[in-house]
Chain A
Amino acid sequence: MEVSLTQILFLSTALFFIGVYGFLTRRNMITMLMAVELMLNAVNINFIAFNKYLWGGKLDGVFFTIFIIAIAAAEAAVAIAIVINIYRNYASIDVEDADSLKL
């Protein structure tokens, strides 16, 4: 029995909603960033699997994955710079503590 596309889609869907669960439950900025990385990786698995199984000769999914990885790296770098700056100002990286823009 060959591994079908549906099984790979099960894996990526489960990984995406694990990321969603982590994003909703965590209140720590670094762990929320980690959950976002999990979601981005689930999307990458989807692109690669569709490119492999449905568009065998083309490269569109591969390029989407490469650009998503590049943007994720930029996003992680900017997010960690912001987190460290917030830690410097509030001495905490809990999202509930950084509330000085609230009325």
Chain B
Amino acid sequence: MTVSNIVFYLLSTMILVSGLLAVTSRQIFRSAIYLLFSMIGIAGLYFWLQFEFIAAVQIVVYVGGIVVLIIFSIFLTHRVGSDLPEPDYKRTLFAGLASLFAFVLLWSVIKHNEFYGDQPNGELSVKRIGEEMLNYQQGGFVLPFEVVSILLLAAMIGCIVIAMRTAPSNSPEEGEPGGHKI
């Protein structure tokens, strides 16, 4: 039992426990905070695997971006302090059974499989990631890089179009937040 193992088990416990609390907590804001801790644990796991660049990206995008966006939308759509409604007992039972059986099936497949390959080495420098990302030779990643940049542009425009409030003079019943607008 080395220090490295202990760090791995601590990180795994943190990820799994806070992930489980994130999907079961009755208070939605607490659930978002548990999700935040789960993401931080995953970033720590990437640090443990010595992929520091991915860990930094994880912290910047997930912890700093997505979770903060989720917390903002919770504040926009929920009354603070109110609990979520209790879920249906039957639905909880069957969802739990389905995930448990699928997990056991997949885990038994993984456990009986031997993985052969190099031992963990994998020196990874940011310089190499940047060179590979703009490499247009065989095996380079410039095409997915361009596709993702187009996708981000499309998502940005799509968000603006979706969230844009239409002009109030279009129809008479518009502008009241509770009204059904079909």
Contacts and interface: CB of A to CB of B under 8 A. Distances in A.
A31 B83 CA distance: 13
A57 B158 contact: no
A83 B66 contact: no
Contacts of A100: 180, 182
A67 B57 CA distance: 11
Contacts of B168: none
A5 B57 contact: no
Given A3-B5, A10-B107, A63-B144, A77 B159 contact: yes
A85 B102 contact: no
Contacts of B32: 30, 34
Interface in B123-153: 124, 128-129, 132-133, 141, 144, 148, 151-152
Given A21-B95, A62-B124, A81 B163 contact: yes
Interface in A7-38: 7, 9-11, 13-15, 17-22, 24-28, 30-31, 33-35, 37-38
Given A22-B22, A31-B23, A41-B39, A15 B99 contact: no
Interface residues of B, number: 87
B99 A17 contact: yes
Contacts of B117: 53-56
Given A5-B115, A76-B69, A19 B120 contact: no
Interface in A64-103: 65-67, 69-78, 80-85, 87-91, 93, 100
Interface string B1-35: 11011001000100110011011100010011001
Contact of A54 (B23, B106, B118): B118
Interface string B39-80: 100100110011101100110011001100110011011000
14 contacts: A10-B110, A18-B19, A21-B99, A24-B94, A25-B96, A33-B70, A38-B35, A53-B118, A56-B118, A59-B132, A69-B61, A72-B62, A75-B155, A83-B77
Interface of B: 1-2, 4-5, 8, 12, 15-16, 19-20, 22-24, 28, 31-32, 35, 38-39, 42, 45-46, 49-51, 53-54, 57-58, 61-62, 65-66, 69-70, 73-74, 76-77, 84-85, 87, 91-92, 94-96, 98-100, 102-103, 106-107, 110-111, 115-122, 124, 128-129, 132-133, 141, 144, 148, 151-152, 155-156, 158-159, 162-163, 165, 177-182
**Top 5 A-B residue pairs of the complex, sorted by shortest distance between their CB atoms:** A22-B23, A54-B117, A24-B95, A74-B155, A56-B118
